[in-house]
Amino acid sequence: MSTSNPELQRENQEQEDSYQSPNNYANLDELAATSPVENPSESAAYTHRSLEENRNEENIRERGANDQNGDQTNMAGATKKGNSPDHSGKASRLATQMYTISYLILFSFFGTLARLGLQAITLYPGAPVVFSELWANLGGCILMGFFSEDRMLFKEEWGTPRYHQLIEEAKRREDEEAGSGKGHGIDLAAAKKDHAKTKKTIPLYIGLTTGFCGCFTSFSSFLRDTFLAMSNELPTPLNHPADYGPVTSSTTSTVSRNGGYSFMALLAVIIVTVTVCVSGLHFGAHLAILTEPWTPTIPFAVGRKFLDRVTVFIAWGCWIGAIFLAIFPPDRNDSPPEIWRGRAVFALVFAPLGCLGRFYLSIYLNSKLPSFPLGTFVANMFGTAIIGMSYDLQHVPLGGVVGCQVLQGIEDGFCGCLTTVSTWVSELSSLRRKHSYIYGSASVAIGLCLLIVIMGSTQWTRGFSTLQCVH
């Protein structure tokens, strides 16, 4: 017997159109972290939910979902005989994973290119900031804050703009209750929570946060600059724009200094980067609130029926194209050195590997310790160790021009996308204060110790040679 209940029909349609996201997607801290703005309406009282609380809630929900799936399996025979709604149009779990991976691949390209481009235009003669990744880390944190707080880009959610409808209902109640705001506040809080839970299951949103913001920022490059500042090897822009990028003898400071100044340089890079990025995260969230009336909405049909499917072909096609460009560069018939592919192509080849590696480390490890995001920590530490080894091999030197370019691609692509500052800062802002200081201090201290052992052992014994490639 067919039903005429419009509410039931709407729920059935939403189930058919929804993604079957794996439960462990909730372990991505870009998605589980609380909003950077604790008090968006600037009311007198507010409640801040920590990342630990969200993580415990997600773990309980995941266990409940597993139990429910078991019950549904046991009742499969009885359900099949009944008149349950047909959800054959629902995106399968395999399709949802394919959409998510494809978005991560595509946005890893965009994030890497944005980081390299911003680095190129912000390192110039007389630049007040000479550690290369600061601007990219700031930009990625601003975008992370914006996407975390934004309520309009994915307003339609699964085809029904629930959040927008609840806002309108709250406004009507506020008018009816002569400005009391009681019903308004309750509706907005419920709408915000419901929207946040729904938004983090959308592959495009995962691509924007985990993919683009995560690859736009680089924790390994931040710590590499910290070590170079401490060891008096930080690149200093002089008079040769073509040399900006890798450290060469013409761009490295040769002024000797004592250990106290080296310690001050180390503190300068750490304090400036962390404070600027945390401020950028909150500024991005404030910007989302400010621009909410003018922020466009991605149409449901465009996102679900068009972007998801087209991205699969574009992402994988671009990755295959980058691999072929690395093998057959346009300047392969010119006289050496072949510098064209060394600027970005090798980085694009390795970028998806780093992004996907961080993605899977997060979904499998972040839930192990709610007070210490283990997946992000492992990704940042492993990427930091790899960038230190690649930097050493570049300056041995190893492999000539092509070897230098491949190693640069590993640094910019794999390490730059495997490690992230935007997620790290979002976690610092969401954890309880004690856990936040422990997590942040451990990440910087252990990562810096790795570079002291890896890069310091080469610099203070053999010394760094001039690079044989141009960035």
Same domain, residue pair 141 and 31: yes
- As for how many domains the chain has, the answer is 2
Same domain, residue pair 289 and 409: yes
Same domain, residue pair 181 and 320: no
Same domain, residue pair 275 and 381: yes
Same domain, residue pair 445 and 420: yes
Q: Is residue 12 part of a domain?
A: no
Instruction: List pLDDT tens digits, range 383-422.
Output: 999 999 999 998 887 777 888 889 999 999 999 999 999 9
Last residue of a domain, one of 138, 173, 201: 201
Q: Quote the domain boundaries for residue 165.
A: 155-201
d(CA 220, CA 415): 7
Same domain, residue pair 429 and 288: yes
Instruction: List pLDDT tens digits, range 102-139.
Output: 999 999 999 999 999 999 898 887 788 888 789 999 99
Same domain, residue pair 189 and 233: no
d(CA 361, CA 439): 17
Same domain, residue pair 453 and 435: yes
Instruction: List pLDDT tens digits, range 205-240.
Output: 999 999 999 999 999 999 999 999 998 888 776 543
Cα 52 to the center of its chain, rounded Å: 19
Two structure tokens written together for 343: 């600027």
| Residue 310 C-beta-side C-alpha neighbours within 13 Å | 7
Same domain, residue pair 122 and 259: yes
Q: Is residue 73 part of a domain?
A: no
Q: Is residue 65 part of a domain?
A: no
For residue 245, what pLDDT is reported?
A: 45
Same domain, residue pair 164 and 253: no
Q: Is residue 15 part of a domain?
A: no
Q: Is residue 4 part of a domain?
A: no
Same domain, residue pair 300 and 436: yes
Q: Is residue 75 part of a domain?
A: no
Beta strands in 240-307 (DSSP E): none
Q: Is residue 306 part of a domain?
A: yes
For residue 221, what pLDDT is reported?
A: 95
Instruction: List pLDDT tens digits, range 320-342.
Output: 999 998 888 776 666 666 666 67
Same domain, residue pair 302 and 441: yes
Last residue of a domain, one of 163, 186, 201: 201
DSSP 413: I
Instruction: List pLDDT tens digits, range 287-303.
Output: 999 998 899 988 888 88
The model's pTM = 0.82
Q: Is residue 13 part of a domain?
A: no
Two structure tokens written together for 35: 């909003």
Last residue of a domain, one of 201, 221, 236: 201
Instruction: List pLDDT tens digits, range 416-446.
Output: 999 999 999 999 998 999 999 999 999 999 9
d(CA 451, CA 222): 11
- 382 has a pLDDT exceeding 90: yes
